[in-house]
Structure 1
Amino acid sequence: MKKNIVFMFSGQGSQYYHMGKELYCKNAVFRRWMSTLDDIVYKNVGLSITDEIYNKTKSKADNFDHLLYTHPAIFMVEYSLARVLIESGIEPDYVLGASLGEFTSAAVAGIISVEETIECLLKQAKLIESCCELGSMIAIIHNPELYYQVQEISLNSDLAAINYFSHFVISGNSKKLLKIEEYLINRNITFQTIPVRYGFHSSNIDSIENEYIKKIHKIFFKKPGIPIISSLLSGNAIEFSPKYFWDIARQPIYFEKTILKFEKIGQFNYIDLGPSGTLANFVKKILNKDSLSQIYDVLTPFGQDIKKFEKIKERMF
């Protein structure tokens, strides 16, 4: 039986310098779409995102966390990669986004144009950078119940995401999160600081909510041409509004719950089109051993973009 195809798109924290470079150099479709989207960004803010992503003076190990660059950069890479697959005949039956990745889902599904998507992302980035205090996000490798059980954690942060049974993310004020890091170190609990400057999915960005919604309220949201699975709603997203596109940055992500609920429908080919293959790794942790669903990624910091893309083409046809 043919498995339906799910395109998955990740958000902030998945970016790095030179992401998708092999495709950018060798795949005409990817390069064309990156150039088209880069032109849109340049017309809005006078910045070339491709010049920054593929900056020869930077390495993959360098911090890539300037929001006015990373917000559009993640979208550009994900959308361009989606177009590579679509134009090669691999079309999604569903799109699934997590956090900023929901913007890419919306654009691929035709809810908003790429121009409107970029406009939304740039406005959000500008507001956060000008109005919000610096913050942090931490991925904790432990049962998410720890968040509710330990006041040291819950009183000093907001729950940002539950990705699978032993991986969750907290967000908030940098100084408060340093206290949490100290707690985790003392108890030998593994964690990783996510490469972002602001506390997404936390009260640290609450100050821009009204202004952001006001700035995007004129956008007309069309009906999706492809069913959208939302990690915000843990299911199908049907109605869209400026408030929805605020909530995907502010409210928690329930990725595990979303996948488990989706798996009850049938079998799928999950294709991670994010920069790091993060969501593919999460899905591998979530699926039951008897699941017949397949998982693929294309981009990771370790390269082999073209080889992985060709493998997907072989498997889909």
Structure 2
Amino acid sequence: MTKTAWVFPGQGSQAVGMGADLFDLPAAQQRFEQAAEILGWSVPKICQSEDDKVSKTLYTQPCLYTVESILADLLLERGLQPALVAGHSLGEYVALYAAQVFDFESGLRLVKRRAELMDSASEGMMAALLGFDRAQLEAAIAQTPDVVLANDNNDGQVVISGTPSAVESIMSGVKCKRAVKLNVSGAFHSPLMAEAAAEFRTVLDSVAFQTAQVPVLSNVDPTPATDAAVLRDRLDRQMTGSVRWREISLQLSQAGIERVIEVGPGKVLTGIIKRTCPDVALENVGAIADIERVAV
């Protein structure tokens, strides 16, 4: 049997109309109803909103969590089972759900509060850098206060996060093919999120974590883990810690993973992983039709 990992994308993968083929599925309807009770609004309506409400952090994260969780459930129902799971930023919550660390409702309550705190963040900025000299970038970050490597996606794509002046200093001082300021409300995955992370911890402490049924590669520590206390601690550090996705991709290869299925809308992680793991088969599950294909 092909050794397979499931990975779950985070904010940035959302799109108007995502999950549309799930809305009339009986099993999915129950999840959407549960989500509406917790959130106070309809995930399908937000996903279908033509004014792109789904791209507002407050809505993006719960919508992605709900849609991706349903897709994971459908895969499990078909008898598919991953050898490892991982998720990019918000996607880590879906990975933990898929590994049965917590139930759907508990995970959504965590995501709801996380989205509220991140949506209200107003300090700092983020920027994506593509095509750079890693040694020069790391040296510049080390010499510049108040900026960190927030998302280390692969050798040619990263996101930096920090105060506006620090981020702009890196953008102007490091040669790269492209540098783009991100349309986000704050400096996510940086120490500037410490206050939000402290508030989030009160919700995190109220959720019971179970031993993972399959190993989880966490953003802040990409080594496989199943212990509930370890996974809780890693999630606690995620809001202020870096997303070490390049190392997660390397870990997939080291673990003998032959196939990676990106579970969720879009192909963001597929593109990121391809550069680090060129010999791994990559597939996407963003709709019911995709499940039929990968289940063969």
If the TM-score is normalised by the length of the shorter chain, which range does it land in? 0.7 to 0.9
> 1:295 is matched with which residue: 274, 282, 288?
282
Matched residue, 1:302: none
Contact kept in structure 2, 1:135 and 1:198, CA below 8 Å: yes
**1:311 counterpart = 2:293:** yes
Secondary structure at the counterpart of residue 97 of structure 2: helix
- Please point out which of 44, 65, 77 is paired with 1:75: 65
Q: Whole-Å Cα distance in 2 between the matches of residues 79 and 7 of structure 1?
A: 12
Once residues 120 and 193 of structure 1 are traced to their aligned partners in structure 2, the CA distance between those partners, rounded to angstroms, is 28
Contact 2:262 2:285 in 1 (8 A): yes
Q: Does 1:94 align with 2:84?
A: yes
Question: 3-state SS of the aligned residue for 1:296?
Answer: strand
User: What does residue 16 of structure 1 align with?
Assistant: 15
Deviation at 1:183, TM superposition (A): 5.0
Q: Deviations over 1:254-309 (max 9, x none)?
A: 21222223312324210001322111111110125xx3x3111133xxxxx45544
Q: Of the candidates 242, 247, 255, which is equivalent to residue 245 of structure 2?
A: 255
Whole-angstrom CA distance in 2 between matches of 1:174 and 1:298: 37
Counterpart-to-counterpart distance in 2, 1:157 and 1:211: 22
Cα RMSD after superposing both structures: 2.6
1:236-275 → structure 2 map (5 Å cutoff): 236-241=224-229, 242-275=232-265
Contact 1:5–1:271 under 8 Å retained in 2: yes
Q: Mean alpha-carbon deviation: is it higher for 194-203 or for 72-81?
A: 194-203
Q: Contact conserved, 2:154 with 2:276, CA < 8 A, in 1?
A: yes
Question: TM-score under structure 1 normalisation?
Answer: 0.81
- Per-residue deviation at 1:154? 4.2
1:230 matched to which residue of 2?
218
User: 1-side partners of 2:46 and 2:170: how far apart?
Assistant: 33
Q: Structure 2 counterpart of 1:311, which letter?
A: R
Give the length in aligned residue pairs. Answer: 293
Whether the 8 Å CA contact 1:6–1:93 is kept in 2: the answer is yes
Question: Shift of residue 215 of structure 1?
Answer: 2.5
Deviation, 1:252, is 0.8
On the 8 A contact 1:147/1:154 being kept in 2, the answer is no
Task: Verify: 1:137 aligned to 2:136, yes or no.
Answer: no
Aligned-partner residue type, residue 257 of structure 1? E
Flag structure 2 segments of 5+ consecutive residues without an equivalent: none
Alpha-carbon shift at residue 220 of structure 1 (Å): 1.6
Residue 178 of structure 2 corresponds to 190
- CA positional deviation for 1:112: 0.6
What does the per-residue CA deviation read over 1:31-76, in whole Å, with 9 as the maximum and x for residues that have no partner? x32x333323322331112211111x33xxx474422211111111
Q: TM-score, normalised by structure 2?
A: 0.87
